[in-house]
Amino acid sequence: MFHIDECRTHYDVSQDSEVEDLGEHHQRYKPDSLGALCRATRFSEAEIKKIYRGFKAECPTGVVKEDTFKLIYAQFFPQGANTSQYAHYVFNTLDQDNSGLLSFDEFVTGLSILSRGSLEEKLRWTFSLYDINGDGYITREEMTDIVSAIYDLMGKLDPCVDEDTVKEKVDRIFQKMDVNKDGVVTLEEFLECCNNDEDISRSMTVFDSSF
């Protein structure tokens, strides 16, 4: 499972296009002070400036609505992939204050974790993605939603994927992760299981080189 690769937020930091100032019609957005962002992330000032220019080019208002985010997200997947549902979960995870809008600060913080965070930071981020309602437990229903979204993400490559396939996958995951068999996966269970799984650790480190 763990198609963590899919949730990486590709972003081309080499993109250097400075967008025209759209004038007074658009509210100008200023990110929090660069110094604070540097401390909160693993990016240098120069890198943050570069990412900001790219961000502003895509989103001149300085905030991203979910619809826009989904459009941008979809561009990184082959045609036929249904990215909408997974992008929704990624957006919710990045949108820390649940305002329905992604600020540059939230964007760059998520990007920092996914690209340069420690394995544990990435795992915590992934846990919060899977814990859809944010109550601290991954339920079977939440895992089913996520696994279905991941299959959608992979497109219609495999026509054999049906409800039973999803259910089997979720059963296998729970067998492995729900150590105390109480029907939910806690952060501790999640971290423990992922830390002991080489495949997962490997897929997590792929982020470093992804942009």
What is the C-alpha separation between 11 and 93, in angstroms, rounded?
17
Of the candidate spans 43-51, 52-60, 180-188, 193-201, the one that interacts with Ca ion by CB under 5 A turns out to be 180-188
Cβ pair 105, 95 in contact under 8 A: no
Q: Which of 135, 188, 192, 208 binds Ca ion (CB under 5 A)?
A: 135
- Look up tokens 């993400």; give the residue: 153
Please enumerate, as own/partner, the contacts of 185-189 that have beta carbons within 8 Å and a separation of 24 or more: 185/130, 185/137, 185/138, 185/143, 186/136, 186/137, 186/138, 187/124, 187/127, 187/136
Per CB under 5 A, the list member of 15, 180, 196, 205 interacting with Ca ion is: 180
With tokens 């962002």, the residue in question is 37
Nearer to Ca ion, 133 or 205 (CB): 133
- Taking the least distance from each CB to Ca ion, the nearer of 6 and 131 is 131
Q: Among 83, 178, 190, 194, which residue sits at the site for Ca ion (rule: CB under 5 A)?
A: 178
Q: Shortest distance, CB of residue 185 to Ca ion, whole angstroms?
A: 6
131 lies in the binding site for Ca ion (CB under 5 A): yes
The residues, ordered by sequence, that sit 6+ positions from 181 with a Cβ below 8 Å of its Cβ are: none
Of 21, 32, 168, 182, the one binding Ca ion (CB under 5 A) is 182
> For residues 131 and 142, is the Cβ–Cβ distance under 8 A?
yes
Nearer to Ca ion, 35 or 134 (CB): 134
* Alpha-carbon gap, residue 173 to 134, rounded angstroms: 19
Q: Is 133 in the site for Ca ion (CB under 5 A)?
A: yes
Output the smallest distance, CB 193 to Ca ion, in A: 10
Closest approach of Ca ion to the CB of residue 183, in Å? 7
Q: Which residues bind Ca ion (CB under 5 A)?
A: 131, 133, 135, 137, 178, 180, 182
